Homo-oligomer: A and B are copies of this chain.
């Protein structure tokens, strides 16, 4: 089974994927304007995908998890910045940053 630290990172990835997906669809889409500009919106869905992929690699105990976690941290950080610039997405910013920090530790 995954260690406590790995499990915490898997949980952070899932939490981030959930907030990014629900905010993209249930907040950004309703707001329109800057919230649906392609660069921002794509980043939200990129973040969902890479967080889930990282969670899978960690759950399997895959040898390749470090590279995936490094990529995940990078995308989460970019998504946090993009959300922060919009000013009304605090929960998403926090989930992305927490996930990025956790993935950084996994990436070694």
Please give the residue numbers on chain A whose beta carbons come within 8 Å of chain B beta carbons, in ascending order.
1-2, 7, 10-11, 14, 17-18, 21-23, 25-27, 29-30, 32, 36, 38-39, 41-43, 45-46, 49-50, 52-53, 55-57, 59-64, 67-68, 71, 74-75, 78, 91
Contact = CB atoms under 8 A, between A and B. Distances in A.
Tell me the dominant secondary structure on chain A's binding face.
Answer: helix
B18 A59 contact: yes
A23 to B, nearest CB: 8
For the complex of A and B, the 6 pairs showing the least CB-CB separation, nearest first, are A14-B14, A21-B59, A22-B59, A25-B60, A53-B53, A46-B62
How many copies the complex holds: the figure is 4
Contacts of A14: 11, 14, 18, 55
